[in-house]
Amino acid sequence: MVAPLPKDKLRAVYNKVASWYDWQHSFLTLNADQKGRRFVVAKTISPGDHVLDAGAGTGTTALMAAQKAGAKGKVTLYDFSEGMLNKAKEKATKAHLTDRLTFEQGNMEKLPFEDNSFDVGLSTYSMCPLYVPSVAAEELYRVVKPGGKIGVAHSTEPTNAVIKKVADWAENIYWKIPELSLGCRAVEVLAVLERLGGNVIFKKKIGVPLWPFLVFVIEKPL
């Protein structure tokens, strides 16, 4: 498995690709990314929820969450890339949802929020490029209230040995082009959330065989 990109390099890459990220990610995943976002939002959000979208990127998931949470809901978009957040703000303005959203910049591995602050915590494709994804998962769990839900979608390893070998070969090639790889690699955080006490209420693998995604929802016990 390839090593994560340095944080400064990763931020620079996402700032650079922000204007075309949505198109690129959907194209390369054959729209599986959107399917994952819809699963996560459908399985976690209720009207009036206060939601944290950690690693919100261009805001696609956050806007879905804001629409489902309704006029009484609130969504905080948190991301380390100012370029991605600026794109999210543009999209929020066009969707007339800015009154339901707040935007903050920072590192997912050290969230600046109190324990038990949110009804729902989301991370869609934002764990994959992190230096220590398990720490970010622990942070997301920490800031969600007991009884709340955590919805995650991230890259995972192919289960077929032959396909995995091909995927590893391809990864070694496109990893040399950070604007293409986006620093994303297969990660594993579900076990971390389960060790913390989270209960799995939804789990599904989606996407193309070479680059599948794991989508899951955890409920934090009361």
Q: What is the pLDDT of residues 140-181, one digit of tens each?
A: 999 999 999 999 999 999 988 898 898 888 888 888 899 999
Q: What is the pLDDT of residues 110-140, one digit of tens each?
A: 999 999 999 999 999 999 999 999 999 999 9
7-117+141-159+167-209 fold: Rossmann fold (3.40.50)
What distance in Å separates the CA atoms of residue 161 and residue 30, rounded to the nearest whole number? Answer: 22
Please say whether the beta carbons of 127 and 136 come within 8 A.
Answer: yes
For 92-110, what is the mean pLDDT?
97
DSSP 86: H
DSSP 98: G
- Domain layout of the chain by residue ranges: 7-117+141-159+167-209
Question: Which two three-digit tokens encode residue 192?
Answer: 């971390």
User: Can you tell me whether residue 94 is helix, strand or coil?
Assistant: helix
Residue 72: CB atoms within 10 Å: 10
At a CB cut-off of 8 Å and minimum separation 6, what does 73 contact?
45, 47, 48, 49, 50, 51, 65, 66, 100
Residue of 73, 77, 149 whose CA lies nearest to 113 = 77
The partner residues of 205 in beta bridges, in order of sequence, read: 214
pTM: 0.95
Residue where the block lists tokens 């949505």: 22
pLDDT at 2 over 80: no
Mean pLDDT of the chain: 95
pLDDT of residue 174: 82
At 183, give phi and psi (nearest 5°): 70, 10
What distance in Å separates the CA atoms of residue 93 and residue 19, rounded to the nearest whole number? Answer: 16
At a CB cut-off of 8 Å and minimum separation 6, what does 12 contact?
none
Angstrom distances, CA of residue 39 to CA of 1, 10, 35, 43: 28, 27, 6, 6
